[in-house]
Amino acid sequence: MPVLTETPESRSETTTRLFLERESAEGTERAVIEEDLVRLNMPLARDLSRRFRGRGIADDDLEQVAYVGLVKAVKGFKPDRGHEFVSFAVPTIRGEIRRHFRDLGWTVRPPRSIQETQSKISGCESELYQQLGRAPRPSEIAAHLGIDVEQVIDALGATGCFAPASLDAPSLGDDDDTVGQRLGGVDAGFDLAEARATLAPLLAKLSRRERLIVEMRFFRGCTQAEIGKEIGVSQMHVSRLITRLVARMREEITIAA
């Protein structure tokens, strides 16, 4: 007759069993079971806290905040919903860490509306996890909170932007360049290209003599006397022609804008 050996429980199995025992426990016994549940699932909280490292808050503080979220998850979990504890604990712990960053971790704070929406999302995310058995979609969060889905997307997009990256930090390339050295500079040709795009249709409307005046004065740098000699008028007349031309072109640019 074969000898039966008892296999040790996995963490998930032990967690499930302890929650079932908690259902009929009261007082001190219930508190002891919840303490065992917290202790058993501390590795999960530590793993989640590691994902938020390097964003301006000490690693030890992140772990402590994650443990606070774990305690809240243990106390708030309802096994009769039919989902595993981890599906409820992960968003609860993550929400507690995000709340800590929202309150203490921002170097440049986002608009208050974004902060308030993030707070609402953190408050309902774990509940939706437990109801749906999966991560809620932005549309489902928006429907639950009664707000626009674009507002939810903006708030989720701002999550994690707690501290600006240093321009002196190493880049991800193969060389030793910093992030700042890889940033593009201002191209002087942009202004010239914009000016050409703006002036080209205006110059096309000028008469041949007017285009010659503009070319000699603004492109060749000729004097008014030289322009007058070329087109056969006095220097004083050239001055009046240039003044009228510039005023007309400026007006047309203003109208086009």
> Residues in the chain, how many?
257
Q: What whole-number distance in Å separates Cα of residue 125 and Cα of residue 137? A: 10
* Average pLDDT, rounded, for the chain: 81
What residues contact 198, with CB distance under 8 A and at least 6 apart?
Answer: 253, 256
Nearest by Cα to 68 from 92, 101, 34, 88: 92
| Overall number of domains in the chain | 2
DSSP label at 142? H
At which of 108, 126, 158 does a domain end?
158
Higher pLDDT, 112 or 153: 153
> What is the H or E stretch that residue 19 is in?
helix 11-23
Same domain, 208 and 133: no
Is residue 168 included in any domain, yes or no? no
Sign of CA dihedral 78, 83, 84, 85: negative
Alpha-carbon distance of 115 to 152, in angstroms, equals 11
**Is residue 187 situated within a structural domain?**
no
pTM across the whole model = 0.47
Q: What whole-number distance in Å separates Cα of residue 52 and Cα of residue 126?
A: 18
* In a shared domain, residues 38 and 152: yes
Residue 193 lies in a domain: no
Q: What is the CATH number of the domain that holds 113?
A: 1.20.120
Residue that has been written with the tokens 């979990």 in this structure: 77
198-246, pLDDT tens digit by residue?
A: 888 888 888 999 989 989 998 889 999 999 999 999 999 999 999 998 8
Model pLDDT, residue 5:
40
Question: What's the token pair of residue 84?
Answer: 């595993």
Domain that holds residue 204: 199-256
Q: Which pLDDT does position 158 carry in this prediction? A: 66
In whole angstroms, what is the distance from residue 243 CA to residue 65 CA? 71
pLDDT band for position 28 (cuts 50, 70, 90): very high
Q: Are residues 230 and 115 in the same domain?
A: no
